[in-house]
Structure 1
Amino acid sequence: MAKLRSRVRDAAEHALARHQYVAPVDLLGALGWLPAPRVQEWRQGRIPYLAQVLPVGPDRLDAVLGYLREWAGERGMVATELDYPAATRDRWQLRFTADGEQALERAFRTHWISPELSEGRRRQLETRQAKAPDLVVNIPAGDWECAACGVAEPAGEYLFLEGGEPLCLGCADLGHLVFLPAGNAALSRRAKKESTLTALVLEFNRRRKRYERRGVLVERAALELAERQCLADEDLRARRRERDAVRRADADVRFQAAMAERIRELYPGCPAQRAAAIAEHAATRSSGRVGRSAAGRALDEQAVRLAVIASVRHLDTGYDELLMSGVPRIEARERIAADIDRVLRDWA
């Protein structure tokens, strides 16, 4: 268990540096036991209890929670128990364990917050963490049937899942909302603020194997009000966007330089030009690559290593040729694993 204890402490330190608090759910994700899509499904009420999707048993979970408490005690962290409301119409409290054992449930709900935060900042953090997730409506790829009214719906018709059952918007009491496509951040933000009831619209991207936002459902009156507000200050927001674009470009250049320096620190044998190219590719804004993840922005060693491995895989091995010849992805990665290790050893 010594290795697990070390992994828990390292993950907790990284989480503290990034967020100024550590939550057990986030820690399980950092350990590689809880992918983000499973957390999303659980928050949306699609998974009865979180332990159901974990690849480890109760003994390992107890050990992780114990190591986290030990670390938090040494660091003088402040324990705060927060609720986890589901993204359902009734906002019921989510469960972590099969039997709902109170001690374990409390341990999972406990967030360990930095003692350096002011009281006001701590309250803000607690309020944000305890906020119920947005309701979510899906765009299904195939035909389906509403579990409440029994009406057959074609592919593309909005579907609301509750308790694992598909509901049409009418049966989910969301039929009066109108769709606002993604793309205008100011309009979406204002419409959500003015609307008493809202729901995110997601669609599963088969290529990327993840749900992606397509827009939001809001009340018609809220959308009309938001449109008037956006028209009133359109020129001001245009000037602000220009300034923000310049600022983001400067920030991206600085971040890519810092990542290239971090790559050279971890892999001194990597040519400077190659390190710069890896950093530019991995840290491209809105790319979804590892460099734009929270760990990547923190220049976490594992995140940087993954960026380097991705570059080596595609440029220094026959991986792409194997894929094009029909070799399954997992098998192709196994075949070129030794080649990647060789390059990393040379660079290290």
Structure 2
Amino acid sequence: MAAVSLTVPAPRTGFLVVQPLRRKYCAGCRRGPLPMLVLEDAAPRCLDCADLGHLVFLPRGDTALTRRSREESGLSAVVVRFNRRKGRYERQGVLVEEAALTRAEERCLADAEARRRRRTRDARHRAAQDERFAETFAAEILRLLPGCPAGRARGIAAHASLRGSGRVGRSAAGRALSEGAVVSAVVASVRHLDTPYDRLLMSGVPRHEARRRIAADMEARIRTWREGGDGTDETVP
């Protein structure tokens, strides 16, 4: 056991407890094999003999809970186990007072609830921002293309400005309401909803050829909206 004690890392603060790989017995009470032990004068001691038996084990994984448990606990210990493959001791968790763990869990739950409320507020704020931007985008569509039906403009704006979509309304140009970006959103909508473009693609027509075939109808619709007409008298094949 003396050889092992030379390789066990010294804790920065508090006590160090080892999870042994081999069967070890307490040098004091002779109980064992021990799941955890403390080395005193190169001899293994069980947690009860080391006056640590009242502590509870908190496995590693939750950094915030571990930190707060140690803050709340008047007595604590770091638990390590030797990793043969890596040739070093690795931290497995901590031993802390049970009441301290309870208080730490309550603090973490309070923080989790606070984070949940913050996420809810942030989501509402983003939704309000998105709604205002979509309204502004729709207004810009109607300014540039006054013949576009108002409901259609709102639909185009909502689609183009959907958060996380990567569509033109979320681009830098779209956020700046540049004419090119706004008209591009309208063109995309007309292409898919007011022409047979999608049917041509589904029938196997190459994309560039499909665009060529519907170009005249699409340009006519955009021109009508730009000039103030509603385009309802146009026939789309």
Normalising by structure 2, what TM-score?
0.49
Instruction: State the TM-score, normalizing by the size of structure 1.
Output: 0.33
Tell me: higher relative CO, structure 1 or 2? Use CA pairs within 8 A at least 6 residues apart.
Answer: 2
